[in-house]
Amino acid sequence: WQPMTAESGAGAAAVLEEALLPNGEAQAPIVGLWRWIWTVVLWWAIFAIGVALAMLGPTLQEVGEQLRVSVTVAGSLFTWRASGYLVGAVWCGDVLHRMPNAAAVFLAPLLVASLGVYSLPWCSEYPVACFIFFFQGLPMGMLDTGGNVLMLALWRGSPYQNGFEHAFHFFFGLGAALAPEI
């Protein structure tokens, strides 16, 4: 193990860019209307993830009653979802590298996360709820990690790149802050 220096950091950035871009070739950034459509969709998706992640806390007692377990046991659902989130975040890099269509990579996880949120009110068994929360966290991690990478790629070369990335994180926080009020 060696500490990171300016020289090794630059090399790491080159390796990361080569891993993210097909054949290691720099691609022209997306411009115009499509850039804005992708940006708004990513903002909306991360807002929804913020809402979905923050909803469990205020409803934990009701979820425990529905599953016929104590609040302490129901609290382990946070761990199940976080485990799925971790797996999805790590897996997303490989999926984005192998799939040529980023839209398909993001559409499928959005649908899976939506199904997870939709199915929870009808779940009455704790093991099934653990399964649902793990597989709800998986696409959330993919969307979070992949969304960050995609947002940076969309606005690469723009003087406003940092602002759009910060707005991406703002919408996550806004969704999480509004969730208890919904």
Residue 140 and residue 148: Cα distance in Å, rounded? 12
Candidate from 27-31, 70-74, 98-102, 108-112 with smallest mean pLDDT = 27-31
**Percent of all residues in the chain with a pLDDT value above 90, rounded to a whole number:** 38
Q: How confident is the model over 75-118, as pLDDT tens digits? A: 999 999 999 999 999 988 888 778 777 777 778 877 877 887 88
- Per the CB < 8 A criterion, the answer to whether 146 and 96 are in contact is yes
Q: What is the pLDDT of residues 36-49, one digit of tens each?
A: 988 999 999 899 88
pLDDT band at 27 (very low <50, low <70, confident <90, very high): low
Distance, in Å, from the CA atom of 32 to the CA atom of 108, rounded to the nearest integer, reads 25
Name the one residue in this structure whose structure tokens are 């779940």. 123
pTM here is 0.76
Q: Could you tell me if 143 and 49 are in contact, meaning their C-beta atoms sit under 8 angstroms apart?
A: yes
Phi, psi (degrees; rounded to nearest 5) at 111 = -65, -40
Question: In terms of DSSP H, where are the helices of 1-159?
Answer: 6-20, 33-55, 60-67, 71-74, 76-98, 102-119, 126-154
Residue 167: pLDDT over 50: yes
How far is residue 84's CA from residue 137's CA, in Å, rounded to a whole number? 4
User: Rounded CA gap, 107 and 109, in Å?
Assistant: 6
What is the predicted pLDDT for the residue at 93?
80
Q: Which among 21-25, 140-144, 173-177 has the top mean pLDDT?
A: 173-177
